[in-house]
């Protein structure tokens, strides 16, 4: 059993709850591994859940309890199940402790939840989007050049150029690939603007893209390359 727990937990009540959970499973000879993460960051919680689920054997029957933790972790848990095929469930408690409406006791019912298939984020687009955001000038209309994006794809051996001979290819050689695999999808999502200046394309991130970058920084860590 794997338990997601708050990072640097110095809350006495939360610490006692964690200890009670571990003791309850230990009494049934069930080993508990504790994985810490920010339970109030959907990005980090999702990244940790994806990494944890994928670390298990492919034949394992993986279930995710989305009734514990914060509402943020419940959302992250559902998304992780939609992406990986793990089974989410919700526990209806038997009762709550008299001194608290948040600490529950027992289990009245275990309710399976439907996890509809969910398309996994395009890690390549997220990574390149982050690069553009970091590399572009702070102000003005000038941005990252198409050549610079092509060089980034080649230098980092991203999927868009996996079939390109990198020993001889240059950024100019892969302009059609950059436009098709990177620029067009990012424009369709309204994550970049492209401005033509002096015969060059200048690419800049939009305000919407900045929100995407902030909320997906941990997800990019899940990329397979």
What total number of domains does the chain contain?
A: 2
The per-residue pLDDT for range 80-112, each reduced to its tens digit, is 998 888 999 988 776 655 555 555 555 566 677
Determine the pLDDT at residue 99: 54
Mean pLDDT of 70-84: 89
Q: Residues of the chain with pLDDT > 70: what percent?
A: 88
Task: Tell me what pLDDT residue 219 has.
Answer: 72
- Domain with residue 90: its CATH number is 3.40.50.10770
Same domain, 45 and 22: yes
Q: Do 11 and 96 sit in the same domain of this protein?
A: yes
Same domain, 85 and 144: no
Clarify whether residues 21 and 100 are in a common domain.
yes
Does residue 118 carry a pLDDT above 80? no
**pLDDT tens-place string over residues 128-153:** 999 999 999 999 999 999 999 999 99
Residue-level pLDDT at 218: 73
Same domain for 130 and 74: no
In a domain, 153, yes or no: yes
Q: Determine the structural domain holding residue 91 and report its residue range.
A: 2-112
Q: Is the pLDDT of residue 125 over 80?
A: yes
For tokens 């298990």, name the residue: 56
Residue 133 has a pLDDT of 96
Per-residue pLDDT at 6: 84
Q: Are residues 95 and 181 in the same domain?
A: no
Mean pLDDT, the chain, integer: 86
Q: Give the end of a domain, one of 48, 80, 112.
A: 112
Q: 169: pLDDT confidence band, cut at 50, 70 and 90? A: confident
Question: In terms of pLDDT, which residue wins out, 24 or 110?
Answer: 24
pLDDT of residue 150: 95
Which of 58, 92, 112 is the last residue before a domain boundary? 112
- Dihedral sign (CA 101, 103, 106, 112): positive
Of residues 177, 218, 196, the one with CA closest to residue 51: 218
pTM above 0.75, yes or no: no
Q: How many CA atoms lie within 13 A of 102 on its CB side?
A: 6
One domain for residues 84 and 169: no
Residue 194: pLDDT over 90: yes
């Amino acid at each position: 059993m794997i338990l997601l727990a708050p990072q640097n937990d110095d809350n006495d009540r939360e610490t006692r709850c964690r200890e009670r959970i571990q003791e309850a499973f230990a009494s049934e000879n069930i080993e508990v591994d504790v994985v810490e993460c920010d339970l109030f960051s959907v990005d980090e919680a999702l990244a940790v859940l994806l990494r944890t689920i994928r670390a298990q054997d492919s034949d394992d029957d993986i279930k995710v309890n989305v009734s514990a933790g914060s509402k943020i972790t419940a959302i992250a848990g559902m998304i992780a199940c939609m992406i990986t095929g793990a089974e989410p469930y919700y526990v209806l408690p038997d009762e709550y402790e008299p001194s608290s409406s948040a600490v529950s006791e027992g289990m009245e019912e275990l309710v399976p939840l439907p996890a509809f298939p969910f398309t996994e984020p395009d890690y390549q687009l997220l990574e390149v989007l982050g690069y553009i955001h970091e590399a572009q000038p702070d102000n003005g209309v000038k941005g990252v050049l198409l050549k610079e994006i092509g060089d980034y794809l080649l230098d980092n051996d991203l999927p868009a150029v996996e079939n390109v001979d990198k020993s001889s290819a240059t950024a100019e050689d892969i302009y059609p690939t950059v436009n098709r695999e990177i620029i067009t999808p990012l424009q369709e999502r309204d994550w970049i603007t492209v401005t033509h200046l002096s015969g060059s394309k200048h690419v800049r991130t939009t305000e919407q893209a900045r929100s995407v970058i902030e909320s997906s920084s941990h997800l990019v860590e899940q990329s397979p390359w």
